[in-house]
Structure 1
Amino acid sequence: MLRKWGVHTTHPRYFGLFNPTPTWWGIAGELLAAGVNPQLAAYSHAPAAVEMERHVLRFVAGRLGLPTAEGSFTVGGAEANLTAVIVAPTRRFPAYAGGGLAGLARRPVLYASAESHLAWLKIAHMTGLGRDAVRLVPTDSRHRMDLAALRELHRADLAGGFEPFLLIGTAGTTAGGALDPLPELARQAGEWGLDFHVDAAWAGAVALSDRLRPLLDGVELADSVTVDAHKWLSAPMGAGMFLTRHPDALAGSFHASTSYMPAQSGQFPDPYATSVQWSRRFAGLKVFLALAIAGRPAYAEQLERDVRLGELLARRLSEEGWPRVNDTPLPVVCVADPEAESQGPEHSAAWHAAVADHVVSGGQAWLSTVRLAGRPALRLCLTSHRTTVSDVEAAVTALNQARKAV
């Protein structure tokens, strides 16, 4: 049933969302974690498991330029980003921990790009901020957060009696792979006294490559960062990571004490007291094993290879009359057919959807449709370590055949 009724995300021609082809070491880690089944709520119950996770988190934090950061593994990026939205007001508003939003004089608001992952809306709903507290900032021609629009929104919020508390930069948007201007956002957050969070759920992986690491310049200035190992680091789902340079605020957000939990031992707090989750599986083992066995250079090689394949795909599609409509160095390629676009956005959206459906239903590849600033397009993303040049050529052929058929 799983083979017949499911998208095969591990296939080398899966060019869809950030779902990984897991490595064998990651799969082995899942099997070991399930078999031993350690409980990571309390340090004293699973010290080896907790230390392995801490080792991975310190390693990733170091590559991001946050060597003193603390954090935790999460189910995914949404939980990690939820953690950021809980930690930021805990740090900024002394009355928040006890009195919640009712204890604040003004309504808090946060800022994220209109092209960011809209889990922010769900997070605002869950935390009681309300969805209207999320300011989705318009983007520029490269689909990055527009700094002038951000400043205008901030001025309006101050004039309207709101309390800005968090600015979010996205490193690798889901739709088009855009990289927000992180250094400028960090400076702006510092000037306004806001926490600065970077959602690098996907593109944070490039920190493992010395050549690609400059794409994340500015992330080292963040108060907190989200990275998902189950995206471009090829770990089985789910393996999100939340990192913060403010461990006291993290502990202040989630501390709890009960008689049925063992007393804290050692200098580090128990995981249940520094994360959203209480009972938690050993999610970090699959990442620990893969990094220990393959090593950082092997990951860097794959990341750099994927970027080259993305460049090849964009070039080949352009040669075949599919101009690229997104601007990113990351291997997300969005293209649109000029003739379909010339007949208006409604026709273009229907036409591109029909082309995607033709390719997918034919079993040649999996790709998706997307809208970038409202512009319909086809989206292909390369993150599988199994994808080769021949798979790229097959995708180009499939798109050309679909264009003729539609």
Structure 2
Amino acid sequence: MTADALLPSREERATLWAEAIGQAESYFEGVESLPVAPALNQGELHALLDGFSFDNPGSRLDVLHRFTEELKRHQVHTPHPCYFGLFNPAPAFMGILGESIAATLNPQLAAWSHSPLAVETERRLIEAFAQKFGFSEGSADGCLTSGGAEANLTALLCALAERWPGVLDSGLQGVSARPVFYASAESHQSFLKAARTAGLGRGALRTVPVTDTLQMDCDALRQMIEEDRRLGYEPFLIVGTAGTTGAGIVDSLTAIGDVARANGLWFHVDAAWGGAAVLVPELRTALEGIEKADSITFDPHKLLSMPMGAGMFLTRHRKILNKIFSVSTAYMPKEGEGLAVVDPYIHSLQWSRRFIGLKLFLTLTTTGWSGYAEILRHQSEMADFLRERLEKSGWSVVNRTRLPVVCFTPSDEEWDIATHQCAADAVVQSGSAWISTIILRGEKPALRACITNYRTERQHIDTLLANLSKVRHDLSLRKRLDHKQLRARVRHHTRVPELPNASEFGRW
């Protein structure tokens, strides 16, 4: 295979770049006119993919054009300002450029010496965010990750190794105790995956009930720790959440930290989404106590609007990552051995990896902390506007958070989860917006809308409210019609037979 099979001529590259830029610009300008979500048809997707062949390759321009156009048709448009869904943002433009540069230069960040500027750039980001979260400059450490799941797994491994250093050599079979750790009923399910991945199993994760405000119940937490120890289990980790996925709730981090320290346990805060509040002075107090954590998960690909994926693990224990991930090989580059540097491959779960931090570095150095504060403040204001409009339109907001996620249900009637899901489905199928459902405390169903896009304005919230009003009206009509039909069927089946008239009695 000749080189031009993978690297086209300069002229063809110019044509392909023009197509890619044209597609991107068309999307930036036109995403708002697209349906937020596609109709789902797996058969159509299979037929579409059959039009692309690995055995008979097509022209680069044709494949690029056709597939990009089809991808626009067959995805939920998370960059749409009427996407009120999960924590998927509209990507920042400098982040998009950063991804393109990283893919073009393809720096390999396993060894410091292979891409020293890239590694040092990520170190600078770790130090900057660690300080924002309140960690001291001299002791803080961390690494960029693929996302929150990797960061949470890293936290679990750190807590295990801190409690039982021998686990790094002997594994869990060298631990005589039965390890357990604690997270609230509203915490992210990545901790269940982490428990399974680490070999602890599902039973090691203790689910702590939440209060009426959906925060971890610290009294229940204390009781569970005492009971587990009485039964022969060994607690080693408590997880607090700063911005739950369901309702955006921030646990009482100060109180949880106090419990952790009183019991000698590692205290981790999953701030994958809500951690961005530290950048906004008036929201920073919602995360009070996070500075006392042993480790923190934070995802710039959520509220900081980075393209997927960009996660971050931070810790106040400077030596713990090398302790867990350090290995020695004969084949890795040795050029940096005489310098006071750390190779990333012995500092994180990943080995070979791309320059995750470039997109964040380019965006932060051109937007600044103050620019991000303004963006996040705007999203918070849009959530306040949504809450206000909902309550004036006959809905009840059922979560209390300063972060931009709103859970709501009708104020004048009680819907079950099926009705909530029917309403959410109708909104999504309309193409005008995307919302979801949630069950809070395992029992309270609600609709959920999150301000996850920096381009969302009041008119987009008005669009959502108009759609919700129509859906609610249609559901009410259907409910009345169903009730009327049910009553008619009941009358039909319980009707008393007619008696003969008087003249007919004479024949009897």
TM-score (norm 2): 0.78
Determine the C-alpha separation between the residues in 1 that align with 2:360 and 2:448: 28
The AA in structure 2 aligned to 1:323 is: S
Confirm whether residue 305 of structure 1 aligns to residue 378 of structure 2: yes
- 1:294: which partner in 2? 367
**Structure-to-structure mapping, 1:117-196, within 5 angstroms:** 117-196=188-267
Structure 1 consecutive aligned stretches of length 4 or more whose deviation exceeds 2 Å: 263-266
Structure 2: 5+ residue runs without aligned partners? 1-69, 476-508
The AA in structure 2 aligned to 1:131 is: R
What is the root-mean-square deviation in Å for CA atoms of aligned residues?
1.0
Determine the C-alpha separation between the residues in 1 that align with 2:156 and 2:316: 14
- 1:85: which partner in 2? 156
C-alpha displacement of 1:340: 4.6
- 1:38: which partner in 2? 107
Is residue 167–residue 197 contact of structure 1 (8 Å, CA) maintained in 2? yes
C-alpha displacement of 1:262: 1.7
- 1:256: which partner in 2? 327
Determine the C-alpha separation between the residues in 2 that align with 1:65 and 1:383: 25
The AA in structure 2 aligned to 1:277 is: Q
- 2:493: which partner in 1? none
Determine the C-alpha separation between the residues in 2 that align with 1:384 and 1:352: 24
- 2:497: which partner in 1? none
Is residue 86–residue 452 contact of structure 2 (8 Å, CA) maintained in 1? no
Determine the C-alpha separation between the residues in 1 that align with 2:136 and 2:278: 13
- 2:438: which partner in 1? 370
| Other structure's SS at 2:390 match | helix
Determine the C-alpha separation between the residues in 1 that align with 2:232 and 2:413: 46
The Cα offsets for residues 261-299 of structure 1, whole Å up to 9 and x where unpaired, read as 123532232101010000010010000000000111110
Determine the C-alpha separation between the residues in 2 that align with 1:216 and 1:267: 34
Is residue 340–residue 351 contact of structure 1 (8 Å, CA) maintained in 2? no
| Other structure's SS at 1:204 match | helix
C-alpha displacement of 1:309: 0.9
- 1:317: which partner in 2? 390
Confirm whether residue 399 of structure 1 aligns to residue 468 of structure 2: yes
Is residue 240–residue 253 contact of structure 2 (8 Å, CA) maintained in 1? yes
Determine the C-alpha separation between the residues in 1 that align with 2:433 and 2:411: 22
The AA in structure 2 aligned to 1:354 is: C
- 1:344: which partner in 2? none
**Structure-to-structure mapping, 1:184-333, within 5 angstroms:** 184-263=255-334, 264-265=336-337, 266-333=339-406
**Structure-to-structure mapping, 1:1-12, within 5 angstroms:** 1-12=70-81
Is residue 340–residue 348 contact of structure 1 (8 Å, CA) maintained in 2? no
| Other structure's SS at 1:174 match | coil
The Cα offsets for residues 54-80 of structure 1, whole Å up to 9 and x where unpaired, read as 111111111100133111110100000
Instruction: Please point out which of 379, 382, 386 is paired with 2:451.
Output: 382
Determine the C-alpha separation between the residues in 2 that align with 1:233 and 1:287: 8
Is residue 279–residue 373 contact of structure 2 (8 Å, CA) maintained in 1? yes
Instruction: Please point out which of 410, 420, 423 is paired with 1:355.
Output: 423
C-alpha displacement of 1:339: 4.7
C-alpha displacement of 1:84: 0.3
The AA in structure 1 aligned to 2:424 is: A
The Cα offsets for residues 209-248 of structure 1, whole Å up to 9 and x where unpaired, read as 2222111111100000000000000000000000111121
Determine the C-alpha separation between the residues in 1 that align with 2:412 and 2:189: 31
The AA in structure 2 aligned to 1:349 is: I
C-alpha displacement of 1:148: 1.1
Tell me how many residue pairs correspond in the alignment: 401
The Cα offsets for residues 89-141 of structure 1, whole Å up to 9 and x where unpaired, read as 11121211111111111011110011000111111001001111001100001
Determine the C-alpha separation between the residues in 2 that align with 1:325 and 1:53: 40
- 2:141: which partner in 1? 70
C-alpha displacement of 1:155: 1.1
Structure with higher Rg: it is 2
Determine the C-alpha separation between the residues in 2 that align with 1:145 and 1:252: 31
Is residue 307–residue 329 contact of structure 1 (8 Å, CA) maintained in 2? yes
C-alpha displacement of 1:46: 0.6
The AA in structure 2 aligned to 1:225 is: I
Is residue 101–residue 107 contact of structure 1 (8 Å, CA) maintained in 2? no
Determine the C-alpha separation between the residues in 2 that align with 1:71 and 1:255: 14
The AA in structure 1 aligned to 2:110 is: A
Is residue 427–residue 471 contact of structure 2 (8 Å, CA) maintained in 1? yes
| Other structure's SS at 1:8 match | coil
Determine the C-alpha separation between the residues in 1 that align with 2:321 and 2:329: 19
The Cα offsets for residues 16-35 of structure 1, whole Å up to 9 and x where unpaired, read as 00001011000000000000
Higher relative contact order (CA 8 A, sep 6+): 1
- 2:129: which partner in 1? 60
Identity %, equivalent residues: 49
Structure 1: 5+ residue runs without aligned partners? 342-346
TM-score (norm 1): 0.97
Determine the C-alpha separation between the residues in 1 that align with 2:175 and 2:340: 33
The AA in structure 2 aligned to 1:34 is: A
| Other structure's SS at 2:297 match | strand
Determine the C-alpha separation between the residues in 2 that align with 1:340 and 1:84: 43
- 2:503: which partner in 1? none
The AA in structure 2 aligned to 1:321 is: G
